[in-house]
Amino acid sequence: MGRVSATIQCGETTQCSKRAGQKDRQRARVSYMVEGKRVCRETFMFLHSVGNTQLRNITKSYLQKGVVPPSKASGGIKANKAALCSDDINRVVTFITNFADTQGLVIPGRISGVKSSDPRIRLLPTNQTKASVWRSYETELASKNDQRVAKGLPPHRSAKQTTFLNVWRRYCPFVITSRPKIDLCWQCQKNNSAVYQSANLTEEDKLGRIQTQTEHLAHVAVERNLYRDMVLDSQAAVKEGRDGEEMHYSFDYAQQMHFPTDPDQPGPMYFLCPRKCGLFGVTCDGTNKQVNYLIDEGMTSSKGSNSVISYLHDYFDQFGRGERVLQLHCDNCGGQNKNKLLMWYLAWRTLYGLHDEIGVHFMVSGHTKFSPDRAFGLVKHRYKRTFVSSLQDISDVVEESSVNGHNIPRLVGLEDGTVIVPSYDWQSFLAPFFFPLAGIKKYHHIRIQQ
């Protein structure tokens, strides 16, 4: 409006320099100027990001009212009798915050799926949605209005669901709903339940329960930082050409895939019994590449230690970097990783001179998100959108899941029974030469040397 008011001509007579006599002005005229230079109307609108109708309305408003903010013909929100007043909004905000204080969880530290670090964050249970909270608000407000009417007082206005959600989004963004999750930390669940049930306890008891969860999260943070440091060290070793000295690997199982599968699944296919394909991944964190072992259901019947060791043995033989110091990270699953058989195998590798030293590091249960999960996510994302009819199609899915060659497929066997990666009975082979490690379940870090 300031630009328009500076160059508009709205006098009683025209100001044409080419005529000696001027005429009575019939309409206002605007000379559009940008940095002292005259431009056309289209250029002026483009530079100021306004449309033809908006510019015409601004000019009309200036001629009628002068330099004042333009107003809507309807009067705007102030003239809207259906709009909530400040007291109504305050009642909505008070209800949401009180509901969060009684139903929500106060979780110290990082919350999965929440980027904000606001200490006011309240996490509502999974069975509470924003729509269900609004229905609770409607029920409570209706009860209060009945009491006010009985006393001869006017009832409070109720916010409809859309307005309720808008107020929530604007004034209470720290109250969030949670989605169902899997593979959560049992210790975190117990601590969070203890914090949730501490509403009527003393401040000392509340602080004690929060302190327990804080100490647990601090322990998790230490383990996570150790893992990140090892990954960064291995990446630096590859860049500097020191990957033959020490290297870090991570390995894990993923959920099974099925074939045949069709992203546009026809009805009759739902009733078929698909063939299963297991997925075991080993990531070299120095090169950021993962070898994915595709295990047809005819190749193995379990995810036990013999299978894990057989795939690791094949990986070190075919894809290893020849490192003398080997660092391994895996989850805390006792049946697959944290057992005597895997320790025997790693000790066997050092005895045969394949490595000088091996470190095995187990992630804290429930906090096991690491490199293989990223690669598995890429595979599953591609798998859900691809027609798969055979084991070779799954291999193609793995190879095409990353444009930079992050995922490498390796078939354990074919549908016709051909074995590519053999599975050995390591337990029978190693048992005569080793003794069980007592109390292995309580260790998080194990080092094996020659």
Q: Other C-beta atoms within 10 Å of 376: how many? A: 22
Whole-number pLDDT of residue 190: 82
Alpha carbon 88 to its chain's center:
35
Give Cα separations from 256 to 107, 291, 407, 441 (angstroms).
Answer: 33, 16, 17, 27
C-alpha 182/C-alpha 369 separation (Å) is 12
Give Cα separations from 16 to 3, 243, 278, 440 (angstroms).
Answer: 21, 83, 85, 98
Secondary structure (DSSP) of 234-256: HHHHHHTT-TTTEEEEEEEEEEE
Question: How buried is 134 (Cβ within 10 angstroms: 0-12 exposed, 13-18 middle, 19+ buried)?
Answer: buried
Query: How are beta strands 246-259 and 325-330 bridged, if at all?
Result: parallel
What's phi and psi for 351, nearest 5 deg?
Answer: -65, -35
What's phi and psi for 280, nearest 5 deg?
Answer: -125, 125
Nearest partner of 293 among 433, 147, 395, 404, judged by Cα: 395
Whole-number pLDDT of residue 327: 97
- For 398-446, the pLDDT digits (tens) are 999 998 999 999 999 988 889 999 999 999 999 999 998 888 888 999 9
Strand ranges inside 300-416, DSSP E: 325-330, 357-362, 407-411
Alpha carbon 139 to its chain's center:
34
Question: How buried is 230 (Cβ within 10 angstroms: 0-12 exposed, 13-18 middle, 19+ buried)?
Answer: buried
Nearest partner of 395 among 288, 277, 286, judged by Cα: 277
Instruction: Name the average pLDDT for the chain.
Output: 86
Whole-number pLDDT of residue 310: 95
Looking at residue 13, what DSSP letter applies?
Answer: B
Whole-number pLDDT of residue 140: 95
The C-alpha torsion from 402 through 407 and 409 to 412, rounded to 10°, is: -140
Mean pLDDT by 10 residues, the chain (450 residues): 68 66 70 82 86 84 75 64 85 94 68 65 86 95 94 93 95 86 72 72 82 88 94 95 93 92 73 86 96 90 86 96 95 87 95 96 89 94 93 95 94 90 93 90 92
Residue spans of the domains in the chain: they are 2-65, 86-181, 222-449
Whole-number pLDDT of residue 184: 64
Name the residue type at position 370: F
Whole-number pLDDT of residue 115: 63
C-alpha 338/C-alpha 226 separation (Å) is 19
Whole-number pLDDT of residue 317: 95
C-alpha 349/C-alpha 316 separation (Å) is 11
Question: pTM score, two decimals?
Answer: 0.70
Whole-number pLDDT of residue 124: 86
Q: Other C-beta atoms within 10 Å of 249: how many? A: 26
C-alpha 367/C-alpha 112 separation (Å) is 10
C-alpha 334/C-alpha 443 separation (Å) is 12
Name the residue type at position 261: T
What is the 3-state composition of the chain as percent helix, strand, coil, each rounded to the nearest 5?
Answer: 45, 15, 40
Which distant-in-sequence residues (6+ apart) come within 8 Å of 134 by Cβ? Answer: 161, 164, 165
Which distant-in-sequence residues (6+ apart) come within 8 Å of 14 by Cβ? Answer: 22, 23, 24, 25
